[in-house]
Amino acid sequence: YFPKLIEALPGPGKWMETFKQLMAFPLLLTVVWLLNILGKSTGLSTVIWILVGLIILAIGLWVYGKYSSQLSLSLKHKVFSYSALLICFLIFFKLSHQHIESNDSPKAAAQFPKEIHGIKYQPFDPIIALNYVKNGKNVFIDYTAVWWAICQTNEQFVLHTEEVSNKFKELGIVTMVADWSNKDNWILGDFLFEIGQSSIPSYPIILGSKNGEIHFLPNQLSPPIPPSVAKNDFITTLEKLINPTR
């Protein structure tokens, strides 16, 4: 208990109303961030329909605010305002649910490889991965999802950096990405559980040079751990697995 801190707080006043209004802007930025994640997960058309739904919801809130004033004693106005809000909310819910459930565009996009610093990340397929392993190749798998901030942070600060990409290239490692943004993808889920993991991010590496041994690289790569420390730890572990005598 720190009574001196309470004394330092400003007294009630008009600033509280201004502060409340200012806090709306971080909430709006949060909506933008969530829509960005939704767009990556389900496609642009879903985001557009969500925005349409939000505008309809905003109309309902506007009607509610205009006609449900405590100063108004008109029952007709109150019924109208509550009905408008309820109808707009139901329309918003229907549009959002329908388009989130039905959109399949990311599944098609996930079939294409992506290249980062000269390293090609192939979409993960267990059969293709095991064929690489049978041919003596070492296969690294990035189990990730666009909606999970830790996965995205790990990629930005470590996995997709030039230093780590160069190390993958130097060691001749095949890189694959298992994008689990759509958790209905039971193939990715089953393989993850099969190798003893139940959550993401997860970074298994299957060593074709050691008869298919499976090891796991560090996944605690995000701040507050400094990026340079996380990169060095990841690269060191990778080198020890591939060249233990080094």
* Tens-place pLDDT, residues 170-185: 999 999 999 888 766 6
- The pLDDT assigned to 95 comes to 86
On the question of pLDDT at 109 being above 50, the answer is: no
Q: Average pLDDT in the 6-12 region?
A: 78
Share of residues in the chain with pLDDT > 70 (%): 91
Q: Which candidate, 215, 119, 208, 228, places its Cα nearest to that of 167?
A: 119
- The pLDDT assigned to 206 comes to 94
Tokens 């399949």 identify what position? 104
Residues 6+ away with beta carbon under 8 Å from 113: 120, 121, 122, 123
On the question of pLDDT at 106 being above 60, the answer is: no
- The pLDDT assigned to 111 comes to 55
Quick one: CA torsion of 30, 36, 41, 46, rounded to 10 degrees? 100
Q: How confident is the model at residue 108 (pLDDT cuts 50, 70, 90)?
A: very low
**Backbone torsions φ then ψ of 119, nearest 5 degrees:** -105, 125
- The residue among 96 and 87 whose pLDDT is bigger is 87
Q: Average pLDDT in the 194-209 region?
A: 90
Per the CB < 8 A criterion, the answer to whether 202 and 215 are in contact is no
Report the alpha-carbon distance of residue 125 to residue 179 in Å, rounded. 11
What mean pLDDT, rounded, does the chain reach? Answer: 85
Per the CB < 8 A criterion, the answer to whether 68 and 81 are in contact is yes
Q: Is 147 left (phi over 0), alpha (psi -120 to 50) or beta?
A: alpha
